[in-house]
Amino acid sequence: MNRLRVGQLGGVAFVVASAVFAQEIGWLDLTDLHPRERIRSPHAGSGGCGGGAGFEPILSANITLMYIDRTSYSVGEEVTYEVKIQNTGKEPIEIPWTPHLGDLEPGDPSESYTYLHAAISLDFTEVYSNRSFSIYANSYGSSDVAGTTRKLLPGETVFVRARQQLQTYEEWWQRRINDSSPLNVKVSANLMLNKVTYSPGEKSDAAIDQSVCIPVRTRTGASLDAALLPAKSK
C-alpha cells in the first residue's frame, strides 16, 4: 500500500493517495486457525469450482500475493500471507466476510440454507516440473446474516490476511522436498468462489452441501520466491 510515500511528493501525491485509499473496502482477517464450525456437518458434498465450472465468467479480478512472512518453510509450519483482490470487471463481486461458518447455521436443524464460500489459495509451484500444490484459507457469508458479506465494486480492492499450515499429502512432493532440501519454489495466490446450499435430508446422515461455482476470471500477479524444507524432527 506504501502510503508513507505520500509525504515525499507533496500535496498532489496526497490527493492521489487519498483516492486510492477510498477504493479499499478493508481487511479480511483469516488468521484464526480455529474458526467456529457448524454443529451439523454435511455427510457429502458435490459441485463447485474444483470440478470445473463450465461457464463463461462475468466477474474479473486481479489476485496479487503481497507478502509471505518468511523465505523458507518446513513442512508442517504455519505460513502467514497477505493477498490483494481487485475487482477489474464491470460487475460487483460479493465477498464472504467471516471465517466462522458456524455463525451462518440456522438454529432449526430441519432448515436448508445457502451461503457463499471463498477459498483463497496459496499456490506453491516447482519451476522445472511446473507441478504445484495449494493450501487454502476460507471465508463464508450469507445475505441472511448481517455483516458477513461485502460488495467489492468495480475498481475497488480488498486485502486478505491469512494463516495456514503448510502441508502436502502428495507422495511426489514429499519425495521432492526430502531429496532437494531446500526445494526452491514460486509462490502465488488465487481465488475461487462458490454458492453452497445445505440440505439436511430426511435422516441425520443424509445432509449434503451442493456447491455451484461462481466463475471469476482471475489474473495473478508476480510470484514470490521461497524454499521448502522437510518437516522438522520432533
Query: Would 119 be classed as within a structural domain?
Result: yes
Q: Output the pTM of the full model.
A: 0.86
Residue 55, pLDDT score: 67
Q: What is the pLDDT along the chain (234 residues), one digit of tens a residue?
A: 443 333 333 444 433 443 444 489 999 999 998 999 999 989 888 888 865 445 688 999 999 999 999 999 999 999 999 999 999 999 999 999 999 999 999 999 999 999 999 999 999 999 999 999 999 999 999 999 999 999 999 999 999 999 999 999 999 999 999 998 899 999 999 999 999 999 998 776 789 999 999 999 999 999 999 999 999 886
* Alpha-carbon span 48 to 195, nearest angstrom: 8
> What's the angle, vertex CA 216, arms to CA 195 and CA 34, rounded to 5?
55
Query: Would 57 be classed as within a structural domain?
Result: yes
Query: Would 16 be classed as within a structural domain?
Result: no
Instruction: Count how many domains the chain has.
Output: 1
Query: Would 126 be classed as within a structural domain?
Result: yes
Query: Would 221 be classed as within a structural domain?
Result: yes
* Alpha-carbon span 199 to 24, nearest angstrom: 36
Closest CA to 75 of 185, 161, 223: 185
C-alpha cell at position 89: 470487471
Query: Would 211 be classed as within a structural domain?
Result: yes
Query: Would 6 be classed as within a structural domain?
Result: no
Residue 32: count other Cβ atoms within 10 Å of its Cβ.
13
Q: Which domain holds residue 115?
A: 27-229
C-alpha cell at position 77: 509450519
Query: Would 21 be classed as within a structural domain?
Result: no
